[in-house]
């Protein structure tokens, strides 16, 4: 059930459906502000938006919240389940709590900000988006990340950046272990500027860019070497 309160379109999922919510967001011709009440951990909330809407999910969201987002700003005032902002193309997604596995998976553009912790495989197969985590991330984060940037203000679990391509990884805390072909790299002035940019985008003002360490691809795993051609099968 939805209603208009002031300048807001309010949708109550205690009486309405996610399907109706998403259909209304897709059909709205003029960008507006939407408030989703009583999400109750429902899956697929605010997916596939293709407009500059401002959407507030007032509570916890389930799987794939804000997936395939384009142009919209989606704020979750709670925690989010598996695959939040999966395949995001542009816009901004903010999770004020924690995020489950595969946050930002395959995201191609935009910004995903997680104010708490993110579980395993955060930014898996990242393809160009920025992911900023105020807390820590679990194992296999940035697995097969191709492009984009992951900045973690806390710690990172084991196998960070496993099979990494050209994404940029920054971690302020401890790293339990690096994945295949991921190495620590020097932090130069250009990287400090990049860290400052990400912190500013995520409205984080209490972190020193110099506290972060940089990780990237050794470029050994995915590079074809003609001298080793006989060993490829």
CATH number, domain of 128, equals 2.160.20.60
Q: Is the pLDDT of residue 2 over 80?
A: no
> Tell me, what's the pLDDT at 3?
54
Mean pLDDT taken over the chain: 94
Determine which of 70-84, 147-161, 168-182, 208-222 has the lowest per-residue pLDDT on average: 208-222
DSSP 225: -
**Which residue did the predictor score with more confidence, 82 or 6?**
82
> Could you tell me if 110 and 87 are in contact, meaning their C-beta atoms sit under 8 angstroms apart?
no
> Tell me, what's the pLDDT at 104?
98
* Cα 195 to Cα 48: distance, rounded to the nearest angstrom: 29
Which pair of structure tokens corresponds to residue 221?
């795993």
> Could you tell me if 175 and 215 are in contact, meaning their C-beta atoms sit under 8 angstroms apart?
yes
In a 13 Å sphere around the CA of 57, the CA atoms on its Cβ side amount to 32
Average pLDDT of span 209-226: 86
Residue 13 inside a domain? The answer is no
> Could you tell me if 178 and 196 are in contact, meaning their C-beta atoms sit under 8 angstroms apart?
no
| pLDDT tens digits, one per residue of 164-194 | 999 999 999 999 999 999 999 999 999 999 9
CA 86 from centroid of its chain's CA atoms: 8
Residue 20 inside a domain? The answer is no
Residue 4 inside a domain? The answer is no
Residue 10 inside a domain? The answer is no
* Cα 39 to Cα 92: distance, rounded to the nearest angstrom: 19
How many domains in the chain?
1
| pLDDT tens digits, one per residue of 53-65 | 999 999 999 999 9
Range of the domain at 179: 40-231
| pLDDT tens digits, one per residue of 83-136 | 999 999 999 999 999 999 999 999 999 999 999 999 999 999 999 999 999 999
């Amino acid at each position: 059930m939805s209603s208009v309160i002031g300048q807001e379109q309010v949708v109550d999922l205690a009486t309405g459906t996610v399907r109706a919510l998403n259909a209304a967001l897709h059909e709205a011709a003029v960008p507006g502000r939407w408030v989703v009440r009583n999400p109750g951990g429902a899956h697929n909330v605010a997916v596939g938006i293709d407009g500059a809407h401002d959407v507030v999910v007032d509570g916890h969201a389930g799987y794939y919240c804000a997936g395939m987002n384009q142009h919209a700003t989606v704020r979750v005032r709670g925690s989010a389940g598996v695959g939040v902002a999966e395949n995001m193309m542009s816009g901004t997604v903010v999770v004020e709590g924690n995020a489950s596995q595969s946050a930002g998976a395959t995201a191609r553009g935009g910004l995903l900000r997680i104010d708490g912790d993110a579980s395993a495989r955060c930014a898996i197969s990242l393809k160009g988006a920025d992911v900023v985590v105020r807390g820590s991330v679990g194992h296999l984060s940035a697995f097969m990340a191709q492009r984009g940037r992951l900045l973690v203000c806390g710690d990172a679990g084991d196998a960070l950046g496993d099979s990494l391509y050209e994404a940029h990884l920054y971690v302020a805390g401890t790293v339990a272990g690096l994945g295949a072909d991921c190495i620590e790299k020097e932090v130069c002035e250009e990287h400090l500027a990049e860290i400052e940019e990400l912190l500013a985008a995520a409205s984080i003002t209490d972190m020193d860019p110099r506290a972060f360490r940089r990780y990237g691809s050794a470029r050994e795993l995915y590079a074809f070497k003609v001298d080793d051609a006989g060993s490829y099968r």
